[in-house]
């Protein structure tokens, strides 16, 4: 099989500035006003989409039905029905459905942290703490300076802050702890500062639990203008023999640049330069499409230490059972201004090939979902695009 040709579909709603930029960068790429022509073209192997979140599922379904592999921006779907259809098509068609979690696949310090964790540098991971603050009103690099489009504030199209941003941290929790399933113990969303957009969510947090670890995620749209980047994304990985801290995009009043990784273990502390870490996500995708391999899957499959699945401390805590006790956490949502979503909902892995269920896995089929079940607002777009 030859490397797939580059194709693009130009919807009639594409902004002129975007269309001219694409035409400038890829002058030989044919453009289509009808997506059906792309799906029907036998020479096309891969469909990529970064459409608004509400449309990504239908695009992926049409592509899979046509026998194409799919790469999509996260989140890949906004409804449970779309997800179930995609799961069925992946199994029936034997095609790939890859979701681009850029905060893992595109961040050198995150990749390096995964290497350190899976090598046993900090022992068994027992908790991850992910912070994902973002800047909303950063019009300079958004839509040609016009700021966020209207759909960004419409919950029916963007889906809510938890999957809009926190899906990154959920993905990293599962990957770094070696978990293929987890529970949402508690989740909250709030609109603290956008009365003009009543359906918008500018704050959210999640408590996660799996059979081997705990996790906490906090996301928001409150990055101040004085910060020299769109968000101070951080990740702390706590292990039984040490911990790792990532300052992904900025080290406030510290070292310049991005991808700052700090390690503290039994031997001392260390700052690790991640500038030479290779980013292989898209080359792995192309290799898998062309050669029908599972290169990306093998790179992304989480691994855990042998002790993590049956820690004596964990077994005592849960009464000797490996099945998690479902717990419900209630909060005074009305008094605090928070909207309590739900609790103890199954995460069932994440939207990346690190956990995509398909017969390509040597360990058999695995389940996955687009976010915590029962959280209809937990879907959205990458806020940096």
pLDDT 10s digits, 179-209: 988 999 999 999 999 999 998 999 999 999 9
Q: Is residue 351 part of a domain?
A: no
Residue 281 maps to a domain: no
Is 113 in the same domain as 151? yes
In-domain check, residue 372: no
Q: Please tell me the least confidently modeled range out of 18-27, 97-106, 136-145, 277-286.
A: 136-145
- Strand-pair partners of 71: 48, 98
Residues 128 and 201 in one domain: yes
Q: Which residue has the tokens 């073209």?
A: 41
Return the pLDDT at 294: 81
Q: Which of 126-135, 247-256, 321-330 has the lowest mean pLDDT?
A: 321-330
Mean pLDDT for 99-106 is: 93
148 & 97 share domain: no
Name residues whose C-beta falls within 8 Å of residue 105's C-beta, 6 or more positions apart in sequence: 111, 279, 281, 352
Chain Cα centroid distance, residue 198: 26
Q: Compute the distance between CA of residue 255 and CA of residue 237 in angstroms, rounded to an integer.
A: 21
The CATH number of the domain holding residue 76 is 3.40.50.720
For residue 264, what pLDDT is reported?
98
Threshold 0.85, pTM exceeds: no
Helix (H) or strand (E) holding 281, with range, is: helix 281-291
| Residue 286 located in a structural domain | no
Q: Domain span at residue 221?
A: 104-275+305-346
Mean per-residue pLDDT for 8-16?
50
- Please tell me whether residues 117 and 62 are part of one structural domain: no
In terms of domains, do 88 and 191 share one? no
What residues form DSSP beta bridges with 220? Answer: 133, 203
CA–CA gap between residue 92 and residue 65 (Å, rounded): 9
Q: Is 373 within the bounds of a domain?
A: no
pLDDT, the chain, mean: 75
pLDDT of residue 251 exceeding 80, the answer is yes
Residue 60 in 3-state DSSP? helix
Domain holding 109: CATH number? 3.30.360.10
| pLDDT at residue 154, rounded to an integer | 87
3-state secondary structure of 295: helix
Residue 377 lies in a domain: no
Q: How confident is the model at residue 370 (pLDDT cuts 50, 70, 90)?
A: very low
Q: In sequence order, what are the residues at sequence separation of 6 or more whose Cβ sits closer than 8 angstroms to the Cβ of residue 151?
A: 52, 54, 157, 158
What is the arithmetic mean of pLDDT over 63-67? 96
Across the range 249-259, mean pLDDT stands at 94
Count of domains observed in the chain? 2
Q: How confident is the model at residue 257 (pLDDT cuts 50, 70, 90)?
A: very high
246 — phi, psi (to 5°)? -110, 130
Burial of 367 (0-12, 13-18, 19+ CB in 10 A): middle
Residues 205 and 328 both lie in one domain: yes
**Would you state the pLDDT for residue 35?**
84
The verdict on 81 and 199 lying in the same domain is no
């Amino acid at each position: 099989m030859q490397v797939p040709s580059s194709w693009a579909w130009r919807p009639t709603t594409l902004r002129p500035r975007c269309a001219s930029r694409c035409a400038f960068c890829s002058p030989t790429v044919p453009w289509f006003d009808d997506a059906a022509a792309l799906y029907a073209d036998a020479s096309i192997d891969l469909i990529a989409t970064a459409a608004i979140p509400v449309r990504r599922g239908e695009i992926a379904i049409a592509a899979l039905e046509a026998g194409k592999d799919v790469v999509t921006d996260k989140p890949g779907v906004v409804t449970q029905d779309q997800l179930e259809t995609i799961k069925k098509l992946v199994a029936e068609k034997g095609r790939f459905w890859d979701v681009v979690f850029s905060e893992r696949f595109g961040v050198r310090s995150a990749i390096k942290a995964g290497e350190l964790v899976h090598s046993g540098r900090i022992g068994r991971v027992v908790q991850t703490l992910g912070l994902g603050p973002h800047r909303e009103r950063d019009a300079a690099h958004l839509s040609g300076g016009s700021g966020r489009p209207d759909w960004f504030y419409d919950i029916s199209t963007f889906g809510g802050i938890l999957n809009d941003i926190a899906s990154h941290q959920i993905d990293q929790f599962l990957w770094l702890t070696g978990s293929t399933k987890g529970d949402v113990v508690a989740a909250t969303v709030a609109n603290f500062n956008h009365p003009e957009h009543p359906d918008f969510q500018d704050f959210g947090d999640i408590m996660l639990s799996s059979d081997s670890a705990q996790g906490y995620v906090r996301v928001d749209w409150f990055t101040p203008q004085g910060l020299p980047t769109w968000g101070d994304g951080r990740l702390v990985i706590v292990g039984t023999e040490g911990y790792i801290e990532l300052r992904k995009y900025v080290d406030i009043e510290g070292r310049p640049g991005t991808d700052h990784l700090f390690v503290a273990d039994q031997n001392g502390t260390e700052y690790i330069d991640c500038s030479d870490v290779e980013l292989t996500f898209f080359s792995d995708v192309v290799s898998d499409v062309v050669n029908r391999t599972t290169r990306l899957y093998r790179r992304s499959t989480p691994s855990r230490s042998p002790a993590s699945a049956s820690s004596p401390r964990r077994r005592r805590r849960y009464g000797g059972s490996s099945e998690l006790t479902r717990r419900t956490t209630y909060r005074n949502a009305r008094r605090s201004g928070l909207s309590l979503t739900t609790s103890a909902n199954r995460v069932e892995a994440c939207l990346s090939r690190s956990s995509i269920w398909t017969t390509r896995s040597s360990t058999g089929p695995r389940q996955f979902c687009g976010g915590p079940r029962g959280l209809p607002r937990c879907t959205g777009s990458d806020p940096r695009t």
